[in-house]
């Protein structure tokens, strides 16, 4: 069962990467057990995601060397099953993380803070969400408005009517992926409780998947998520740099 859940989490994450790139006008493609997109310049998103275990280094490096226009000077690879060694291609591990799962049958966690969470549905709300996510007024366009019409939900946590926390939920297959969870640094546990509680309300009975590390992983596990397996993100500098 765990293997099937990892595959669902991986597929959901690849679908989210594709959704984001498509919203920015640079869709990717699936090939040789991977999702690949060498053209995009969307910050924090990989250029290749393995969606099947056992992808060979030769296959991954071959996809990355395909003739295409690079949008930036770094290639990032999400090694979804932590079974890909790209060191021979000049890559090094940027970080490791853990896939997580929360069953749809689990009750909503108790929200221990004064935050009020709800789904955001308008361009103005999305713009406010972006500014809070980036902690900046210069985030316009990071999450295009077209995502409001995609199988995606933006969740916002409000304190005294000010948006202070949030998350993204994307739907694929039989699961919903929770990502981009943010909030006050000292309230990570409360933020996860609020985001999960809101998601349970908005998508009752749907299993939640995603991946996290550090304090965010600890908060996710505290509120009913279980670890499924590791992933790695590899980073390479472009040739000549």
pLDDT digits (tens, 9 = 90+) for 191-205: 999 999 999 999 999
* DSSP per-residue letters across 151-207: SEEEEEEEETTEEEEEEEEEEETTEEEEEEEE--GGGHHHHHHHHHHHHHHHSTT-E
The length of the chain is: 241
Mean confidence (pLDDT) of the chain: 93
CA pair distance 116, 156, nearest whole angstrom: 8
| Mean pLDDT value of segment 114-141 | 90
Q: How confident is the model at residue 241 (pLDDT cuts 50, 70, 90)?
A: very low
Burial of 3 (0-12, 13-18, 19+ CB in 10 A): exposed
**pLDDT beyond 60 at 67:** no
Provide the whole-model pTM: 0.93
| Mean pLDDT value of segment 66-91 | 83
CA pair distance 217, 241, nearest whole angstrom: 34
pLDDT digits (tens, 9 = 90+) for 129-141: 999 999 866 667 8
Which of 17, 43, 1, 52 lies closest to 210, judged by CA? Answer: 17
Q: Give Cα 149 to chain centroid, integer Å.
A: 18
**pLDDT beyond 90 at 74:** no
| Mean pLDDT value of segment 141-164 | 95
């Amino acid at each position: 069962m765990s293997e099937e859940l990892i595959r669902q989490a991986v597929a959901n994450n690849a679908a989210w990467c594709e959704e984001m790139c498509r919203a920015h006008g640079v869709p990717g493609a699936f090939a040789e057990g991977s999702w690949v997109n060498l053209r995009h310049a969307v910050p924090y998103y990989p250029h290749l995601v393995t969606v099947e275990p056992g992808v060979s280094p030769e296959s991954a490096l071959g996809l990355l060397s395909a003739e295409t226009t690079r949008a930036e000077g770094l290639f990032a690879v999400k090694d979804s099953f932590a079974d890909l060694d790209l060191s021979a291609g000049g890559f090094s591990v940027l970080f490791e993380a853990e896939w997580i799962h929360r069953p749809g049958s689990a009750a909503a966690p108790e929200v221990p803070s004064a935050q009020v969470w709800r789904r955001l549905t308008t361009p103005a709300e999305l713009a406010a969400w972006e500014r809070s996510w980036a902690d900046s007024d210069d985030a316009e366009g990071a999450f295009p408005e077209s995502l409001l019409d995609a199988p995606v939900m933006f969740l916002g946590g409000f304190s005294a009517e000010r948006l202070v926390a949030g998350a993204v939920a994307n739907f694929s297959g039989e699961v919903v992926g929770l990502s981009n969870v943010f909030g006050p640094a000292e309230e990570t546990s409360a933020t996860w409780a609020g985001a999960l509680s809101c998601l349970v309300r908005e998508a009752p009975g749907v299993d939640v998947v995603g991946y996290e590390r550090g304090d965010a992983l600890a908060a996710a596990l505290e509120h009913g998520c279980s670890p499924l397996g590791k992933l790695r993100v590899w980073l390479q500098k472009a040739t000549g740099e």
